[in-house]
Amino acid sequence: MAKITVAVDGTTYQDEVEPRMLLVQYLREKVGKTGTLIGCDTSNCGACTVLLDGASVKSCSVLAVQADGHEVTTIEGLAGINGELHPVQQAFHDKHALQCGYCTPGMIMRSVCLLNENPHPTEAEIREGLNGNLCRCTGYQNIVAAVQQAADALATAGGAR
């Protein structure tokens, strides 16, 4: 067993984990963050995407011990303290950028990172930025429109959150 200390959505957790435990398993099973989904277990789909120190990672390809001493943000950590949706979450809702919803948490997390890296992306840059996250239900058009709306909302609000 390995002892780790990880900040998840602003709360610090100290746990003993098996050295081979994946971050996605840790988040779901130890911390209770079930919004981080397990999709393919091969890092192809992106359903398990979270932010690790602000960078998007597929948590099925990161060991929990690798997150020791770091900060993880999950889909549950995006909403404001009063429950108001993050601008990306709101845009996905407004633009109907989901169907079954399975890819949505990972797609939103990747979009947040994309907008932090590039606050004013073109449609082509959005499509390229989301390339590692798969959606099997939509044609991606509403997802792209949601990211564009979120970019506008964040610019109006004065920057990324």
pLDDT in tens, 23-57: 999 999 999 999 999 988 788 899 999 999 999 99
* pLDDT value of residue 49: 97
pLDDT at 42: 84
Distance CA 143, CA 73 (A): 21
Tell me what pLDDT residue 161 has.
57
Domain 2-77 is in which class? alpha beta
Q: Which residues of the chain have pLDDT under 50?
A: none
d(CA 27, CA 21): 10
Specify whether domain 87-157 bears CATH 3.90.1150.10.
no
Residue type, 9: D
pLDDT of amino acid 159? 59
Domain chopping of the chain, boundaries: 2-77, 87-157
Place of tokens 């709101």: 90
Distance CA 72, CA 64 (A): 11
Q: Do domains 2-77 and 87-157 have the same CATH topology?
A: no
